[in-house]
Structure 1
Amino acid sequence: MTRVAAIDCGTNSIRLLVADGETQGERVILNDLTRQMRIVRLGQGVDRTGRLAPEAIERTLAAVREYKRMIDNLGATDIRFVSTSAMRDAENRQDFIEPVNELLGVYPEVVPGTEEAALSFAGAASSVHAYDRGKVLVVDIGGGSTEMVVGTLGKGVDAAYSADMGSVRVTEKFFAGCASDQPIPDGVQAQASEWIDARLDEAEEAVDFSSVRGVVGVAGTITTIAAHALGLASYQPEKIDGAFLSHADTDASVRFMLEQPLAVKAALGFMPEGRADVIAGGALIWKRVMDRVTLRCENTNHPIAGAHVSEHDILDGIALSMLARR
């Protein structure tokens, strides 16, 4: 077995996976030793300023120091640190990259959106077996970007697109001025939806939604929506992983996230600290994506009934990429 440590540093959260890789036939299986997630909001204000805020850098470095101790305790020496949307957009990224290298001995890789999308697909494909035939769309909604990848499970990616829209970006652009104890006004929702739809128009130039036979949603926005749809009192990955969300499930949970006061959402047992204030933005993206894909599939006479949810995503893809190099 080979032990690896994968770190995914996004706009809203930083996550760690330490796992052993085991080959079973043609597949590589990850045996988790630890999975960790911290909400650090590295991308705070980046969409507006183009720079990483000093306080956001320090929050994230504090999490990196914590992860360093875990990695050392578990004896993992092979580390890959992947940074995504916020780092791609920040002109002062070196202010973060250099301290991380000093702590971990590796440089954070600021990967292009297409590679981020491919890693997300590889992670989802490692665990979802509901679509053994036909193409599937994997949707990864992050804080600053949304990856949409069409491919065949077990075979690989056909097309991918990374859209500059995420839960933090939508929140800062449209919802920041809304009262936290009131529903997001219909007019503001309409403005945000129009903006999201324009990003989806761009995505469809690269990715054919009509070709897919199923949808898999990954990452925190979608797994949190799934927790609500499943009626969970606390976050239970084993129940969320592989769950199926009908269109009605998605619509009801998205409506809840858009209409309920921040205090109500923050008090939910499954809501991670630091996600409640941006979940409405991510939820609206998820609804607009599902509405668009559903329409395209209906127009080609193979309707889809909803989407599956996976707990496995870019973090697993990073770990698998390390094992593939060996």
Structure 2
Amino acid sequence: MTRVAAIDCGTNTIKLLIGSHTAEGLDVRVRESRMVRLGQGVDATGRLSEEALVRAFAAIDAYAELITEEGVEQIRFCATSATRDASNAADFRAGVLARLGVEPEVLSGDEEAAVAFAGAMSNVGDEVARPILVVDIGGGSTEVVLGDDTGVLAARSMDIGSVRLHERHIRHDPATREEVEAVVRDIDDQLDACGVDLAAAATVVGIAGTMTTVGAGVLDLAAYDPAAVDLSVHPVDDVHTYVDRLVAMTVSERLALGYMHPGRADVIDAGALIASRVLRRTSVGTMLISEADILEGIAWSLRP
């Protein structure tokens, strides 16, 4: 069995999956996530900051050690929103190549959406109604992908994410009503133009850190528990209620939540608002949360 490493580098996190393809599916041995805020300030400056590069390279150094220890034979490193937008992305690519021996692939928005959809579908059973809308809220971008077992029917990657929107609009803690309204207008403008028929979805699947954190919050977990969050189903009204409560909290109040990652607490207000605004355009009564995401999609792309 060929052992593979899938790395997803986004605006806020760098995630690693190490596993092997078997007759039964993907055997995951390692799954890690580090919050490095690579895209800090990119929306305003158009550049990756030196401090952000230092944080990212430290995480990649740690991943390189794990990859060596696990005897990985193939690596695919996918970089998404922050490195699409940065004028000095070549510095980042050179640093990754020096550390891992592979150059990162900077995915287009459409490629990112397709890989995220594949990862989510690998975790969804046949009993889930189709078509499925996969919603992947990142730090710099959000992907909405409508599809079924034949593949992607429609997809859009939008330049709205938790870090990008928080940095663009929010200056107070907690956000003022005017700031929340500005975030919502930005989201709604993007959704108006996205071209994906969100109302056509029979099922909505939320993936990645913002959505899994929202799922943990609706469940009111004392601590983050992937097993409890994965494939959990949440009434849409409960999601809206939780998002309103989360947005009204201060950062220190969010940090006191046992399931909240400290690297997400300051920006999740904007990310949660994206989740709520997307759901308001669907006709579903519940949302499914999947721990499987773009990492599984990247790993599946390396199968023999």
Give the TM-score taking structure 2 as reference length.
Answer: 0.98
Q: In the alignment, is residue 53 of structure 1 matched against residue 58 of structure 2?
A: no
Q: Aligned partners of 1:242 and 1:112: how far apart in 2? A: 28
Cα deviations across residues 30-88 of structure 1 (Å, max 9, x unaligned)? 11101000000000000000000011011000000000000100100200000000000
1:264 to 238, 253, 256: 253
Cα deviations across residues 193-252 of structure 1 (Å, max 9, x unaligned)? 11110000111x2x1223221100000001001111101111100010001111222012
Alignment of 1:172-183 (within 5 A): 172-175=167-170, 177-178=171-172, 180=173, 183=174
Cα deviations across residues 228-278 of structure 1 (Å, max 9, x unaligned)? 110111110001000111122201220121011111111221111210001
Aligned to 1:319: 299
2:216 to 227, 233, 254: 227
Q: In the alignment, is residue 18 of structure 1 matched against residue 18 of structure 2?
A: yes
1:168 to 142, 163, 166: 163
1:201 to 192, 196, 211: 192
Q: Once the 2 structures are TM-superposed, how far is the Cα of residue 133 of structure 1 from its aligned partner?
A: 4.4
- The one-letter amino acid paired with 1:164 is D
Q: In the alignment, is residue 141 of structure 1 matched against residue 100 of structure 2?
A: no
CA contact (8 A) 1:184 1:258 kept: yes
Aligned to 2:236: 247
Q: Aligned partners of 2:42 and 2:130: how far apart in 1? A: 38
Q: Aligned partners of 2:130 and 2:53: how far apart in 1? A: 42
Which blocks of at least 5 consecutive residues in structure 2 are unaligned? none
Alignment of 1:92-171 (within 5 A): 92-129=88-125, 131-152=127-148, 154-171=149-166
Q: Once the 2 structures are TM-superposed, how far is the Cα of residue 131 of structure 1 from its aligned partner?
A: 4.9
CA contact (8 A) 1:197 1:288 kept: yes
Q: Once the 2 structures are TM-superposed, how far is the Cα of residue 134 of structure 1 from its aligned partner?
A: 2.4
- The one-letter amino acid paired with 1:115 is E
CA contact (8 A) 1:68 1:104 kept: yes
Q: Aligned partners of 2:117 and 2:45: how far apart in 1? A: 31
Which blocks of at least 5 consecutive residues in structure 1 are unaligned? 295-303
CA contact (8 A) 1:2 1:22 kept: no
Q: In the alignment, is residue 285 of structure 1 matched against residue 285 of structure 2?
A: no
Aligned residues: 304
Q: Aligned partners of 1:229 and 1:249: how far apart in 2? A: 7
Aligned to 1:6: 6
Q: Aligned partners of 2:91 and 2:147: how far apart in 1? A: 36
- The one-letter amino acid paired with 1:121 is F
Q: Aligned partners of 1:57 and 1:114: how far apart in 2? A: 25
Q: Aligned partners of 1:42 and 1:109: how far apart in 2? A: 16
Q: Aligned partners of 1:306 and 1:184: how far apart in 2? A: 27
Structure 1 pair 221/150, CA: closer, same or farther in 2 (3 Å)?
A: same
Q: In the alignment, is residue 67 of structure 1 matched against residue 71 of structure 2?
A: no
- The one-letter amino acid paired with 1:20 is S
Q: Aligned partners of 1:240 and 1:260: how far apart in 2? A: 22
CA contact (8 A) 1:131 1:214 kept: no
Q: In the alignment, is residue 40 of structure 1 matched against residue 36 of structure 2?
A: yes
**TM-align CA RMSD:** 1.1
What secondary structure sits across from 1:283 in the alignment? helix
- The one-letter amino acid paired with 1:6 is A
- The one-letter amino acid paired with 2:226 is P
Q: Aligned partners of 1:131 and 1:306: how far apart in 2? A: 15
What secondary structure sits across from 2:19 in the alignment? strand
Q: Aligned partners of 1:134 and 1:263: how far apart in 2? A: 40
1:306 to 265, 281, 286: 286
Q: Aligned partners of 1:162 and 1:267: how far apart in 2? A: 32
What secondary structure sits across from 2:288 in the alignment? strand
Percent of residue pairs identical: 47
Give the TM-score taking structure 1 as reference length.
Answer: 0.91
CA contact (8 A) 2:232 2:289 kept: yes
**Bigger mean CA offset, 266-275 vs 162-171:** 266-275
Structure 1 pair 216/14, CA: closer, same or farther in 2 (3 Å)?
A: same
Q: Aligned partners of 2:122 and 2:16: how far apart in 1? A: 17
